[in-house]
Structure 1
Amino acid sequence: MLTEADACHMARCIELALQGAGSVSPNPMVGSLIVCDGSVIGEGYHMQCGGPHAEVNAIAAVSDPSLLSRSTLYVNLEPCSHFGRTPPCSDLIIEKMIPRVVVGCRDPNPKVAGRGIMRLRDSGVDVYEGVLEAECLRLNEAFITSHTKGRPFVALKIAETLDGRIATADGASKWITGSEARREVHRLRSTYDAVLAGAATVLLDRAQLTVRDVEGRNPLRVVLDSGLRVPFDAPVFSSDAPTLVFAAGRMQGTTEASAAEKKGIEVVFVREVPGGLDLSQVLRELHRRDVLSLLVESGSRLSAAFVRAGLADKLLMFIAPKLFGADALPSFAPLAVEAPSGAVQLEFGQSKAFGRDILLEAYFQP
């Protein structure tokens, strides 16, 4: 039987799990706590890829192991049942004779996918599923997308004026938003596995695509540059973080490709399609490299290309209380919407103020 307290404890699991953001990929973010007689006796979260899982850390935090045999273990993601970098958490739960387990959502990884829960139940453990399931699924949206769609979770980050413009008519865009919003962008970068921009954005903004205004690790920098026109001494190729370039197959064997090789810059050659590079092929290659989450910081054409291809999952829209007017550059290039019924559909998520600016989150709907 589930209680109101179970939801409160699961909410705490989510809080704990978030402490691993930016450190655990390609593993999921997981938090766990153990409750005995209404009191929390142990907490833990997955701190880094290859390290102990959340359940292991929560069990280790219990000062009196004898209490485990009459406790409930809470975890936002199904306990694993296979040997990976660490032993199965389901076996540890059984070994410690924990009688009750409450799970937020199932693990989509085919190596788990219900097997952990089945293992526990077969051993006599009372397992309850689906507590704050929607919140738990959203927490690990990148991990789940990776295992269900075979590509990274894609978030489009756009800074725009109140009238939907990302730059003036001559392309100037620094700075639409204020320092607080820009600091949040740097924090977001630190939580994504990779950040992607097109050649035009990199050239115009002399973009670095690194984390500078907050503490956090730099993501992989990804540049889409069909014709290899970004100079190899550009800031995006600094030693602060690795950079991966995607170029058109026609550039193989060219002088530019040889120059990139001499500079130690990795270039992946992909197909060209009308409008640019094959984004599906780009995402498949990033998935192969264990990139679970991708933050796209681009201009209107590339943003529209991700939307038209059905490859955008989330929109992070920073809106400044400013107006540029109709002659300025719009947030999205044409999306081929011919009637209101054909509009791209989104569902609003959270909104938050950063100084004078507002961040709106929205999820693209099928």
Structure 2
Amino acid sequence: MAVNEAERRAMSRALELAALGPRGVNPQVGAVILSPEGDILAEGWHHGAGSPHAEVDALSKLDPGAARGATAVVTLEPCNHTGRTGPCAVALLEAGVSRVVYALDDPGAVSGGGADRLRAAGVSVDAGEQADSAHALIHGWLTAQRLGRPHVTVKWAQSLDGRAAASDGSSQWITGPEARADVHRRRAAADAIAVGTGTLLADDPSLTARDGDALYEQQPIPVVIGSRATPDDAAVRRHPKTALFYDTHDLHAVLADLHARGIQSVFVEGGPTLASAFVAAGLVDRVLAYIAPVLLGGDRLALTDIGVESIDAAHRLTIDEWQPLGADLLAIAHPALTTEEGAA
């Protein structure tokens, strides 16, 4: 059965609802219950760990029997397991829902399978509606489920000839205001922002996400990686979120600890040394390269040694989008050998 216009509109609304939920160890999920005629009966979203899932939140706003014959439109496949709450697939069946439309499959070995359970009970099920938008919303959670670590975005700004700074080390500003605003918007969408101690000592960054002169309501947790001490008066110590300091160069260990803390997305913009270390370790899920139409020359490259000794060993990328930002150009890419679900 094809997805109809009312269901498409309901999925757009469900995605808006999902974004209201907190980022954390659970995915952001939204749900809309439609009558057989396509009218909205109820809406819900997941409010955080231990609270009712989006489908149950929506159903709880209806009188008993009011959902019989209805359609549930959900941004993620209804779960099929009992954790702090019961299986959403069962809740939908018990409510008498006759059709389910969802955007993304649940990748969990335990929580997945809800669609099959619904189909086996005679419910009409359609998957994939607005999957790209749903994926963009919870890509960190998806990566955490598949790889057991946060989703890692590595960002850098460079001249057209691949330099991150001029010969004297100055780099403010290679790119223009539109590109810098885009960076701050993306910072605000991440759970954590990471730099190395070299960048921290050289630039004393605040690592905040700013909307003009104001701070975004959502701020990433600052993460500082490296063995050099951070001064007591460093700007990062005045960040709205308490910074995490890792006296190590073991990026796998850092990501494992961040994952254990419930951090699902990390925005890396700590300069060429840290960016190159993440690339060399194969720990990059997305690259954001902001390219300015300037030439700098010299040896201050945007990336340094990433372990490539021959062209055959090159880290190949797939471009997802070329995005103009004022005079600059943003390349958004993911590793070519990684499936899009695990990379983007």
Name the TM-score, length of structure 1 as normaliser. 0.81
Contiguous gaps of at least 5 residues in structure 2: 338-344
RMSD: 2.7
- Aligned sequence identity (%): 37
Query: Residue 208 of structure 2 contacts residue 239 of structure 2 at CA under 8 Å; is this kept in 1?
Result: no
2:260 counterpart of 1:288: yes
Shift of 1:49: 4.7
- For 2:163 and 2:60, the matched residues in 1 are separated by 52
Residue 348 of structure 1 aligns to which amino acid in structure 2? Answer: I
In the TM superposition, 1:183-198 aligns within 5 A as 183-198=181-196
Shift of 1:204: 1.3
Contiguous gaps of at least 5 residues in structure 1: 249-276
Query: Residue 25 of structure 2 contacts residue 262 of structure 2 at CA under 8 Å; is this kept in 1?
Result: yes
Q: Rate the CA distance shift 1:14–1:348 in 2: closer, same or farther, 3 A.
A: farther
- For 1:120 and 1:215, the matched residues in 2 are separated by 41
| 1:93 counterpart SS class | helix
Shift of 1:349: 1.6
2:301 counterpart of 1:330: yes
| 2:168 counterpart SS class | coil
Shift of 1:96: 1.9
Residue 80 of structure 1 aligns to which amino acid in structure 2? Answer: C
Query: Residue 13 of structure 1 contacts residue 30 of structure 1 at CA under 8 Å; is this kept in 2?
Result: no
2:335 counterpart of 1:364: yes
Aligned position for 2:341: none
Residue 191 of structure 1 aligns to which amino acid in structure 2? Answer: A
Residue 38 of structure 2 aligns to which amino acid in structure 1? Answer: S
Deviations 1:191-227 (A, max 9, x none): 211111000111111111122325222222110122x
Residue 171 of structure 2 aligns to which amino acid in structure 1? Answer: S
Residue 204 of structure 1 aligns to which amino acid in structure 2? Answer: A
In the TM superposition, 1:20-169 aligns within 5 A as 20=20, 23-37=22-36, 39-41=38-40, 42-59=42-59, 68-114=67-113, 116-133=114-131, 136-169=134-167
| 1:166 counterpart SS class | coil
| 2:144 counterpart SS class | helix
| 1:68 counterpart SS class | coil
Query: Residue 13 of structure 1 contacts residue 76 of structure 1 at CA under 8 Å; is this kept in 2?
Result: no
Please point out which of 209, 212, 217 is paired with 2:210.
212
- For 1:286 and 1:334, the matched residues in 2 are separated by 25
Query: Residue 6 of structure 1 contacts residue 131 of structure 1 at CA under 8 Å; is this kept in 2?
Result: no
| 2:68 counterpart SS class | helix
Query: Residue 9 of structure 1 contacts residue 74 of structure 1 at CA under 8 Å; is this kept in 2?
Result: no
Name the TM-score, length of structure 2 as normaliser. 0.85
Aligned position for 1:317: 289
- For 1:149 and 1:143, the matched residues in 2 are separated by 10
Q: Rate the CA distance shift 1:125–1:202 in 2: closer, same or farther, 3 A.
A: same
- For 2:47 and 2:221, the matched residues in 1 are separated by 20
Query: Residue 158 of structure 1 contacts residue 317 of structure 1 at CA under 8 Å; is this kept in 2?
Result: yes
Shift of 1:176: 1.9
- For 1:243 and 1:177, the matched residues in 2 are separated by 27
- For 1:172 and 1:164, the matched residues in 2 are separated by 15
Farther off after superposition, 175-184 or 38-47:
38-47
- For 1:61 and 1:323, the matched residues in 2 are separated by 60
Please point out which of 256, 277, 295 is paired with 1:305.
277
Aligned position for 2:319: 348
Shift of 1:65: 7.2
